[in-house]
Homo-oligomer: A and B are copies of this chain.
Amino acid sequence: MEYRELDINSVVPYLKSVDKVMDYFGSDDLKADEIGDGNLNYVYLVSSMHDEKKALIVKQAVPYLRCVGEEFALGRERMTYEIRALSKFKNIVPELVPELYHVSEDMSIVVMQYLGKHIILRGGLTDAKRYPKFSEHISTYLAQTLFKTSSLFLDSTAKRKLIDEFNSNTELCKLTEDFVFTFAYMQNETNDAQNVKDNPQAQKLFGDMKFKEKVLDLKYKFMTSTDALIHGDLHTGSIMLNENETFVIDPEFAFVGPFGFDIGALVANIVNNYVHHTIVTKDEGFKEYLLETIKEILELFESKFLKLWEAQKDSALLIEGYIDDKTAKHYKKKFLKRILQESVGFAGCKMARRVFGVAGVAEIRGIEDKKMRREAEELVLKIAREFVMKYNNINSNDEILEIIKSAR
| A interface list, Cβ under 8 A from B | 151, 156-157, 159-161, 163-164, 167-168, 170, 173-174, 177, 182, 185-187, 209-210, 212-213, 216, 219-220, 223-227, 316-319, 321-324, 326-327, 330-331
Contact = CB atoms under 8 A, between A and B. Distances in A.
A296 to B, nearest CB: 28
Contacts of A167: 160, 163-164, 167
B213 A327 contact: yes
Contact of A209 (B168, B182, B319, B324): B324
B226 A224 contact: yes
Contacts of A319: 182
A321 B187 contact: yes
Contact of A331 (B163, B164, B213, B318): B213
8 contacts: A159-B223, A160-B170, A163-B167, A182-B319, A186-B322, A213-B330, A220-B317, A224-B225
Most buried by B among A151, A156, A182: A156
Contact of A160 (B173, B209, B316): B173
**Which secondary structure dominates where chain A touches chain B?**
helix
Nearest to A171: B157
A156 to B, nearest CB: 5
A345 to B, nearest CB: 15
Contacts of A331: 213, 216
B318 A223 contact: no
A322 B316 CA distance: 38
Contact of A156 (B170, B226, B321): B170
Given A163-B163, A177-B316, A213-B327, 11 more contacts: A151-B223, A156-B173, A160-B168, A160-B173, A164-B168, A209-B324, A212-B327, A213-B323, A216-B317, A216-B323, A225-B225
Contacts of A160: 167-168, 170, 173
A213 B182 CA distance: 35
A210 B225 CA distance: 25
A321 B321 CA distance: 51
